[in-house]
Structure 1
């Protein structure tokens, strides 16, 4: 039997990545005194900085190998949206409002046509997030970079009494999923390898997909800022989860001693089915690598969750919280116990 694709086989081992992060973080021991101290909490999507009556938040991320798709397709005006989205969607997970953003572009040679189009996407992402881009850096590194790398950092703020950490999640809560726009900006290495190994080029169309593979993969990451902050301003919410790298395993960042059960997941968009079919990928691997059409999740009391789902066309209750541990994808009886 032909071996099915995994993220690790494609070159990205998320367990090794976690170990690398731990090895770095254990060396970061210096603690500032006075205003601006870091709040030490594990599992948060954005870092908290004590700043009087508010917390400032910082989140940083990049677009990843979606940039290789952009390069091959010659389409650069959407990856800036992805860069902003990857940062602001993490920022809102603590109910923080994105405020300012800086971008970082590493490039092998200056190309005004490319950087201009990247700027178009960054501006659109900023508008969708109600956030200003206040600065950035373009580093020309011909000996280190072959192409373009794009990342950014987001500064946000939240009143201390409005911060949401996931620690108030409790038995009986419901889990609401917000639909994704597509693959977003995680798992692109796996997706690219699958299509490549199947002999399918990015400019080709395949049965089941409405547009060329490359265009499907370049669909910009959904920005949930205005929707989620609107929801938290009107409803009691216990947890906010960005379904990025790690897929459903991100729910493990919520309060421990509970099991987060996904018993009625959204139907995955055709692109996910095509990737799974061509790559012979297991359900376990798919749901821990890709968002599977569930781009963001909200944990809330059941009545609140029902109202949220009824008020938003892209939202549906997909699960519940009960005593136990881990994240259970119930239809397939798949249990994730380690982030």
Structure 2
């Protein structure tokens, strides 16, 4: 079926998964006065709200005829008086009826869509301060169901929790992803490899694109480190995880990851998670804390050990007693 756009009032939500914004709901189309079932991702669905839905008619094998929602946003008013009431409402604090009327008189009944497409058009409105321009822009974004970026990322299959991570980390998410959809994998804690792959596929990144290889190597390094419990990996270990790759391509990929700060390479060792820097920091801390201490009286220490064994009903073995003696004789002890 061809893609189409429908306008419908959300009558009631049949099913909702807040984790990924997937919704099945009943909508009422006022143009033909018929109800229809819509299913797909819809940011912050709200009953009695009118939505503009883009999608296609499908037949679900179990639930029958449905409108598969590809994109959905709250419908903006498009008549002068309705627009004025809308802009003077609580979603736009500080605007008021008089200012709203000036906006409509200046820009016309298409003003809301015009503002959403290009916020700079508000500069044409006489007497409209920068602060009020920002209120109008943010209010429209919130009303329409979050930003265009949010809607686009939902279309690409990114879960809301991860969208929040991206928006918290980057000022211009779409620009970052267009440059390299694997960049969040290296820079955003909690953003995984599978999510990066979804982005790469959505952006039609070629299968032989070197950014895919870099992402795979980074994923392998993290998984191998977690599996072995080691802070570093040998070149041979990493090489085994991508058998068949030309040596020069493998080395170039590691070099790119090092330049990006995703991996650290030192003395033939590969460190994920910034562990090389952390090891050095720990080593400096230990070195700075090493100094001579006055050991306790040996007889007093042995008495205390026996008292502790008796009070706890235990008996330390030889190695444990040696460790206790060492602990009280050094400024630093690693067990």
TM-score class normalised by the smaller sequence = under 0.3
Higher relative contact order (CA 8 A, sep 6+): 1
Task: Say which structure is richer in helix.
Answer: 2
Name the TM-score, length of structure 2 as normaliser: 0.21
TM-score normalized by the length of structure 1: 0.21
Give the structure with the larger strand fraction: 1
